[in-house]
Amino acid sequence: MTDIPLSITEAATQLRDGSLSSADLTAAVLQRADRLDGALGTYLARFDDRAMASAEQADADLARGLDRGPLQGIPLGIKDIIAAADGPTTANSLVLDEAWGAGRDAPVVARLRAAGAVITGKVTTMEFAIGAPDPSKPFPLPRNPWDTRTWPGGSSSGTGSGVAAGLFLGGLGTDTGGSIRLPAAFCGVSGLMPTFGRVPKSGCAPLGYSLDHIGPLARTAEDCAAMLQVLAGYHASDPDCADLPVPDYAATLGSGSLEGLRIGVHRVHEGQEGTDPAVIGAFDAAVAVLEGAGATVVEVVLPYYEEMIAADMITMVSEALAYHLPDMRSRWGDYFEATRSMVVQGAFCSGADFVQAQRVRRVAVGALASLFETVDVVATPTASVGSPAYDDSGRLPLDMGRLFGQIYTPYWDSVGNPALVVPMGFTTAGLPLSLHLGGRPWDEATVLTVGHAYQQTTDWHRQVPALVTEPVAA
Amino acid sequence: MSISTTDGQPGTSEVAVRAALAAAGVTPSEAEIEGLVAGYDRVRSLADLLHAVPAARYESPGLHFDPTPVFADWG
Report ipTM for this prediction. 0.93
A161 in catalytic set: no
Quick one: average pLDDT of A415-424? 98
Show residues of chain B in contact with A110, CB under 8 Å: 75
A240 occurs within a structural domain: yes
Q: What are the tens digits of pLDDT across the range A139-171?
A: 999 999 999 999 999 999 999 999 999 999 999
**What percentage of chain A reaches a pLDDT higher than 70?**
98
Rounded distance between C-alpha atoms, residue A354 and residue A89, angstroms: 30
A3 occurs within a structural domain: no
Of A7-11, A60-64, A390-394, minimum mean pLDDT range: A390-394
Catalogue the E-assigned strands of A257-346: 262-265, 296-299
**Please, are residues A120 and A77 in contact by the beta-carbon 8 Å criterion?**
yes
pLDDT of residue B70: 74
A474 occurs within a structural domain: no
Show residues of chain B in contact with A101, CB under 8 Å: 75
Plot region of A418 (φ>0 → left; ψ -120 to 50 → alpha; else → beta): beta
A344 occurs within a structural domain: yes
Q: Which of residues 37-66 of B touch A (CB under 8 A)?
A: 39-40, 42-44, 46-47, 49-51, 53, 55-56, 59-63, 66
Element (H, E) at A421: strand A419-426
Q: What are the tens digits of pLDDT across the range A382-411?
A: 999 999 999 988 898 777 667 778 999 999
Compute the radius of gyration of chain B from its Cα atoms: 19
pLDDT of residue B4: 54
B23 occurs within a structural domain: yes
Rounded distance between C-alpha atoms, residue A345 and residue B41, angstroms: 10
B21 occurs within a structural domain: yes
A2 occurs within a structural domain: no
CB contact under 8 A, B75 and A83: yes
Show residues of chain A in contact with B55, CB under 8 Å: 363, 367
Rounded distance between C-alpha atoms, residue A388 and residue A231, angstroms: 31
pLDDT of residue A440: 98
Q: What are the tens digits of pLDDT across the range A327-344?
A: 999 999 999 999 999 999
Plot region of B46 (φ>0 → left; ψ -120 to 50 → alpha; else → beta): alpha
**Domain count of the fold of chain B:** 1
pLDDT at A313 over 90: yes
A201 in catalytic set: no
Query: Facing residues of A262 across strands?
Result: A296
**Please, are residues A131 and A160 in contact by the beta-carbon 8 Å criterion?**
no
pLDDT at B1 over 70: no
List CB contacts of B63: < 8 A, sequence separation 6 or more: A355, A358
pLDDT class for A448, splitting at 50, 70, 90?
Answer: very high
Chain-centroid distance, C-alpha A359:
27
Quick one: average pLDDT of B47-56? 98
Q: Greater confidence, A10 or A271?
A: A10
Q: Vertex A61, ends A75 and A103: CA angle to 5°?
A: 55
CB contact under 8 A, B39 and A356: no
Plot region of A343 (φ>0 → left; ψ -120 to 50 → alpha; else → beta): alpha
Quick one: average pLDDT of A116-142? 97
B42 occurs within a structural domain: yes
**Please, are residues A193 and A416 in contact by the beta-carbon 8 Å criterion?**
no
CB contact under 8 A, B24 and A363: no
CB contact under 8 A, A314 and B56: no
pLDDT of residue A273: 86
Is cis: bond before A318, omega within 30 of 0?
no
Side chain identity, residue A169:
L
Show residues of chain B in contact with A318, CB under 8 Å: none
**Domain count of the fold of chain A:** 1
Quick one: average pLDDT of A268-279? 92
Q: Greater confidence, B73 or A58?
A: A58
Phi, psi of A43 (to 5 degrees): -95, 140
Domain that holds residue A431: 9-469
Domain that holds residue B19: 12-56
Chain-centroid distance, C-alpha A372:
24
pLDDT of residue B2: 43
pLDDT class for A471, splitting at 50, 70, 90?
Answer: low
**What percentage of chain A reaches a pLDDT higher than 90?**
94
Quick one: average pLDDT of A299-322? 98
Q: What are the tens digits of pLDDT across the range A214-246?
A: 999 999 999 999 999 999 999 999 999 999 999
Q: What are the tens digits of pLDDT across the range A102-121?
A: 999 999 999 999 999 999 99
A179 in catalytic set: yes
List C-alpha distances in Å: A46 to A3, A141, B75: 21, 16, 20
A124: DSSP letter: -
Q: Which of residues 90-119 of A touch B (CB under 8 A)?
A: 101, 104-107, 110
**Please, are residues A165 and A139 in contact by the beta-carbon 8 Å criterion?**
no
Count of residues making up chain A: 474
Element (H, E) at A183: helix A181-187
List CB contacts of A335: < 8 A, sequence separation 6 or more: A93, A94, A95, A127, A131, A324, A327, A328, A343
Pairing of strands A377-381, A262-265: parallel
Compute the radius of gyration of chain A from its Cα atoms: 20
**Please, are residues A460 and A424 in contact by the beta-carbon 8 Å criterion?**
yes
**Helix crossing, A8-17 with A221-231: angle to 10°?**
80
The shortest CB-CB distance from B28 to any of A101, A344, A362 is to A344
Of A120-134, A149-163, A355-369, B61-75, minimum mean pLDDT range: B61-75
Query: Facing residues of A426 across strands?
Result: A432
**Please, are residues A54 and A120 in contact by the beta-carbon 8 Å criterion?**
no
Quick one: average pLDDT of A285-301? 98
pLDDT of residue B6: 59
Q: What is the mean pLDDT of chain A?
A: 96
> How many CA atoms within 13 Å lie on the side-chain side of A430?
11
Quick one: average pLDDT of B35-57? 96
User: The domain that contains A113 carries what CATH number?
Assistant: 3.90.1300.10
